[in-house]
Structure 1
Amino acid sequence: MKINLKKIRKRQKEVLQRTSKAGRAALVSIVVLLCWSQARGQSKQFAFSPGEEISYGAYYNWQFVWVNAGEVTFTADTLTRGGQKQWLLKATGHSLKAYDWLYSVRDTFFTYLSYPDFQPNYFYRSVNHAGAFSRESYLFNHPPGKTAYFHESKSGSPINSTIPYQAGVNDVLTQAFQLRNYKFDRLKDDELVRFKMLTNDKTSELYFRYKGMEPVKTRNGRKFNCHKVAVPLVKGDYFPEGEEMYIWFTADQNHIPIMVETNIRIGTVKAIFLDAKSVTFPLNSEID
């Protein structure tokens, strides 16, 4: 059978173009896809320790074609800042070099928090998508009773405002780590858990629904028993109305997110676990 290379290259180009348009969902927002939490039901024992590092592959699917489009890394550590020991949480996401010519992505999130009680002091987010940048920050409880909010982008005027401060209402990165402290084994199937989180310059009321236990296999062949949760998504340019995002957490004391999956208008987006370093507890959820 004769292979038509022209048709194959044309098909590849179409997939890459669609991937670039879906990039905001697949890569720009992939950090956010891992981030939901609230205070009720959380353990005082942390599921993570300073020095932990977890990495993910970001994948986009259109029809029968899967594209490995980027990578995301989460780290937790401590440092001395202003003479005080603090937590430093960080998440970075980037497109693979093979796709930078089409749609480059460079995202950085970090939060400084008090140690050991884990209350956020300062959050910063920098996003650069094909040269279009935006920056966002929260300065918590400063001045007292207020959270200072700042946002700037290439296309708009800077925003400086304040939000009423509420203890336990955090930025998206702090929430990502807080959710891992949640006691999922205390929830019943389809139980609803409500929570609040800062989004832009407001406090948003959100929720997730516990969906029980499921085994999950990664693309490198590892398999884990996991707690599954579902989060409703807000309708927008990429997410259809009524769509949900699914997150699978290891059914051990680490509660590592193993996979995140959601449908978008022209395919499916996944973040899949690659590796973890310096985890606090044994990964006894892994299936041999």
Structure 2
Amino acid sequence: MKKFISALLIILCNTAGAWAQEQVAKTKEVAFKAGEQITYKLRYGFLSAAETVIKVEDSPLKFEGRPVLHINAQAKTLGTFNFLFNVRNEYHSYIDPATLLPYYYWENRKEAKYRHTDKVTFDRQKNIITADKGQFSFKGDVFDFLSCYYYARNIDITGLKVGDVLTLRYFLEDGIHPLTITYLGKEQTKCNLGTFNCLKFSPTIIPGRIFKKNSKLYLWITDDKNRIPVKANVEIVVGSLTMDLTQASGLKYPLNPVKK
């Protein structure tokens, strides 16, 4: 059960940013602003299993003398799943409002009896990441998963073709990890807030005790200026997991569902 709930939270917290491609240019206009708040829920069949709330806020802190935006996410299990494997996780990223690259990231995870914290500093002049487990050198753009999500929403995808494989790099705990994502085209999909015109992607997943050998993870992102993930779905050994957008406020642009 612990592995099952962990899989739920991985999908809820990490797939939202899983489609960046560092070789593609960033759009000139930023797709979000301070004050934005979005909420996702994960369902196992008909059961609500977990929820994440992500906020963008102005911060009084400065890094390298520059103002930053503070992105924070709170993830928790719901209902019956609290008794099976209670989770209360929080994640924080401080990003440059112009480049959208992170300066600092920290997390505090409480998963049943398990406890984990990490503090990560990105030194882009020396190309060194300093975390609780040591220092790690890097080249190019590397993100934590929160800053990756918000950077990805600003990727210029005008030249993207069906079948193109994108790659991102993110730092987590003990190193820099790659993730590949395949673009599948445009498709309408329905979430709790309505039906939206979307861009569809398929991030890679690793088969194991939770996922089937041929399991596919699908992710739908609004085909508008917001570029908000509205839904994700993956088959597991028994049943399937679905992530839905359930709340969105403070958006820079109107969220326009398809009118029927």
The alignment's TM-score, normalised by the length of structure 2, stands at 0.89
Kept after mapping to 2: 8 A contact 1:56/1:72: yes
Q: Distance in 1 between matches of 2:170 and 2:28?
A: 20
Q: Distance in 1 between matches of 2:11 and 2:245?
A: 16
Deviations along 1:149-173, one digit per CA (max 9) or x if unpaired, are 21xxxxxxxxx21110334111111
CA–CA separation in structure 1 for the residues paired with 2:162 and 2:21: 18
Distance (whole Å) between structure 1 residues aligned to residue 8 and residue 240 of structure 2: 8
1:272 to 234, 239, 244: 244
Query: Which position in structure 2 is the counterpart of 1:54?
Result: 38
Q: What secondary structure sits across from 1:30 in the alignment? A: helix
Deviations 1:157-203, CA, capped at 9 Å, x for gaps: xxx21110334111111111111112344311112222322233222
Q: Contact 1:211–1:230 (CA<8 Å) still a contact in 2?
A: yes
Determine whether 1:161 maps to 2:134. Answer: yes
1:122 positional shift: 0.8
3-state DSSP of counterpart to 2:8: helix
Partner AA of 1:46 in structure 2: V
The 10-residue stretch of structure 1 (192-201 or 31-40) with the greater mean CA deviation from structure 2: 192-201
- Residue 206 of structure 1 and its aligned partner are, at CA, apart by 2.4
In the alignment of these two chains, the number of paired residues is 256
User: Residue 12 of structure 2: SS of its match in structure 1?
Assistant: coil
TM-superposed CA distance for 1:35, in Å, is 2.1
1:78-227 equivalence runs, <5 A: 78-82=58-62, 84-141=66-123, 144-150=126-132, 160-219=133-192, 222-227=194-199
Whole-angstrom CA distance in 1 between matches of 2:117 and 2:37: 24
Deviation, 1:102, is: 2.1
| SS of match in other structure, 1:22 | helix
Q: Which amino acid aligns with 2:52?
A: V
The letter of the residue matching 2:221 is F
Change (3 A) 1:251 1:145: closer
Name the counterpart of 1:38.
21
2:90 aligned counterpart, secondary structure: strand
3-state secondary structure, aligned to 1:31: helix
Asked whether the 8 Å contact 1:254–1:281 carries over to 2, the reply is: yes
- Superposition deviation, residue 143 in structure 1: 8.7
Label 1:260 to 1:252 Cα distance change in 2 as closer, same or farther (>3 A). same
Identity of aligned residues (%): 22
Separation (CA, whole Å) in 2 of partners of 1:28 and 1:170: 16
**How far, CA to CA, are the matches of 1:139 and 1:172 in structure 2?**
14
Q: Does structure 2 retain, via aligned residues, the 8 Å contact 1:250–1:258? A: yes
Q: In structure 1, what residue type is equivalent to 2:16?
A: L
Structure 1 residue aligned with 2:235: 263
TM-score of the pair, normalised by structure 1: 0.81
Gaps of 5+ in 2: none
Matched with 1:287 is 259
Question: Is 1:218–1:273's contact at 8 Å kept on the other side of the alignment?
Answer: yes
2:182·2:201 contact (CA, 8 Å) conserved in 1? yes
- Quick one: distance in 2 between partners of 1:105 and 1:244? 25
Q: How far apart in 1 are the matches of 2:249 and 2:120?
A: 29
Q: Tell me the alpha carbon deviations over residues 103-127 of structure 1, each in whole angstroms, 9 at most, x when there is no partner.
A: 2111111111233332211111222
RCO higher in structure (CA 8 A, sep ≥6): 2
Alpha-carbon shift at residue 28 of structure 1 (Å): 5.0
Could you list the structure 1 runs, at least 4 aligned residues long, displaced by more than 6 angstroms after superposition.
none
SS at match of 2:81: helix
Describe the shift of the 1:287–1:179 C-alpha distance in structure 2 as closer, same or farther (beyond 3 A): farther
CA RMSD of aligned residues (A): 2.2
Report the AA paired with residue 176 of structure 2. T
Output the CA distance in 2 between the equivalents of 1:239 and 1:199.
21
CA distance in 2, matches of 1:280, 1:108: 24
Q: CA deviation at 1:72?
A: 0.9
Q: 2:201 aligns with which of 229, 237, 249?
A: 229
